[in-house]
Structures are given as C-alpha cells and as structure tokens.
C-alpha cells in the first residue's frame, strides 16, 4: 500500500488553494444568480426595444469571463486565480473599444440654432 505523506497533506499552499476554492465557489453561485436576473432584465429590453441593452451586455461579458476563469481554477484546469488576482490581460486598443454613434437629424440642429439666434436678437433689441 501507498503511505500517506503527512508533510504533503499539511502544505500551506494546498490549504490556501482550498480556501480560495471555497470563496470562488460561493462567488460563482452568487454571480450565476445575478446573471439569471440580468437575463430577465435583458429580455425586457429586447421585448420593448427589439435590441438588447449594450451596458448590460458589456457587464454580462465580464461576468461570463469571471465564471469561466473561476471554473477553470476550481476544476484544476489552471493554477491562476481569477479576478481580482488575475493580471489585466492587456490594455484595449482603439480597435477593441466600441464607439457609440448618435444619429441626429439636421432639422433638430437647425431648429435649435434658430431658437438661439432669435433669443440673441431679442436680447440685442432690448438693450
């Protein structure tokens, strides 16, 4: 029979990993609960606006990355600890950053400038 090495069992690094595993197991459980609620909210956005909310989508991406990294750590696929111990993967380049485009009609701009111009003319005539 194989003998159990007492020193191997009492290694501090193994018990520290166990503590991290317990903490991340609870964190994953919490994040999945939050994700279910966000999925419902995202469906409501989709139901009323016919498109998902981009802010919730971005947040969901971060949650998905956290769950993926945590499960990889819990299942011994990696020894790297997930967020907040995970180093930043890389700084996003300008190509990775999404930009928001706002459509503005020319009529709105003209009306606004006409109102401002008439306000300026009224002020000049009063003086």
pLDDT, tens digit, for every residue of 10-29? 888 899 999 999 999 999 99
Residue 16 lies in a domain: yes
Residue 4 lies in a domain: no
Amino acid 86: pLDDT:
82
Q: pTM of whole model > 0.85? A: no
Q: What's the domain count of the chain? A: 1
Place of tokens 């003086």: 127
Rounded distance between C-alpha atoms, residue 58 and residue 67, angstroms: 15
* Six token digits for residue 46: 């989709």
Residue 70 lies in a domain: yes
Residue 95 lies in a domain: no
Residue 110 lies in a domain: no
Is the peptide bond prior to 84 cis by the omega test (within 30 degrees of 0)?
Answer: yes
Residue 81 lies in a domain: yes
Residue 58 lies in a domain: yes
Domain residue limits at 79: 9-87
In the chain, which ranges are E strands? none
């Amino acid at each position: 029979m194989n003998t159990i090495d007492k020193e191997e069992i009492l290694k501090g690094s193994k018990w520290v990993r166990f503590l991290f595993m317990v903490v991340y197991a609870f964190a994953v459980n919490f994040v999945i609960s939050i994700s279910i609620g966000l999925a419902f909210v995202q469906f409501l956005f989709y139901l009323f606006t016919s498109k998902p909310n981009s802010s919730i989508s971005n947040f969901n991406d971060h949650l998905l990355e956290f769950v993926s990294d945590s499960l990889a750590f819990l299942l011994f696929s990696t020894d790297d600890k997930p967020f907040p111990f995970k180093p930043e993967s890389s700084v996003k380049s300008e190509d990775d950053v999404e930009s928001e485009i706002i459509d503005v009609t020319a009529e709105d701009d003209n009306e606004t400038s006409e109102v401002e111009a008439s306000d300026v003319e009224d002020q000049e005539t009063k003086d």
